[in-house]
Amino acid sequence: MIKMAGASFILALTVPAFVPAAHADDHDRAAYYMHSFAKCVVRGDKDSVAALLNEKPGSAEANAAMQAIGKRRSGCLKVVGGGGKLKMNSASMRGALAEQLYTDEFSSPPDAPVQGEQPIPFQGSGDPDLVSYDVAACMATRDPVDTDSFVRTDVKSEAEKAALSKLAPTLANCVPTGTKLGFDRELLHGMAAEALWKMRKGVSSGPAAGQKLD
């Protein structure tokens, strides 16, 4: 079962399951189950995940959509297993679903921007609550190939470190002056995947007259 507790979700896992040694600590264990759950959900209900990503992150509509997914795809909890309960941030769960949907629908990277072409000013959502998502969307717009490579790496891997190193200048240029962002690498994976999915699907991530992030 999935229950919402504030801005978090609790997965009640009742079937014992093997956890690889690489995911043995509490945080990695939670991430392993979360991504396994997301994989199962996307395999059986892509449309609901797509609908969730079209709702504003953290909104009542997004939370309701996530609860509905948990109810409809409750069988995925039996597939994941684990025993006990796992509590996770709703942004992390959204990110895991976005990452799985993106990699499932797009097996190859996007086209690279034309060499030497200046990127157009990125139009953000204009919503101060979505700055982190705007920055991820800016990064995906300006460097889609390296953003795609980053999304496909494992968190804490050497490949991820290398991908982040290549993305660092673009990411830095996408952060508005004076802004402090509160996401870690795991959240950045999910936000970047959501941005790439929306970009390649032609889904707007904000109103046409948004905030410029130069």
Q: Is the pLDDT of residue 208 over 50?
A: no
Average pLDDT over residues 70-88: 68
C-alpha–C-alpha distance, residues 30 and 34, integer Å: 6
**Distance from C-alpha of 195 to C-alpha of 150, rounded to nearest angstrom:** 13
Tokens standing for 53?
Answer: 């990503």
Per-residue pLDDT at 82: 53
pLDDT at residue 12 is higher than 60? no
Segment 189-194 shows an average pLDDT of 97
Which range, 2-11, 18-27, 62-71, has the best average confidence (pLDDT)? 62-71
For 152-187, write each residue's pLDDT tens digit. Answer: 999 989 999 999 999 999 998 888 877 777 668 899
Predicted confidence at residue 41, as pLDDT, reads 92
CA dihedral 17, 22, 24, 30 (to 10 degrees): -70
Give yes or no for residue 119 having a pLDDT over 50.
yes
The DSSP bridge partners found for residue 122 are 213
What's the sign of the alpha-carbon dihedral 75, 79, 83, 88? negative
Q: pLDDT digit string (tens) for 13-35?
A: 444 444 555 545 666 777 888 89
Model confidence, pTM: 0.82
Q: Does pLDDT of 83 surpass 70? A: no
Judge whether residue 127 has pLDDT over 70. Answer: yes
Alpha carbon 139 to its chain centroid, in Å, reads: 14
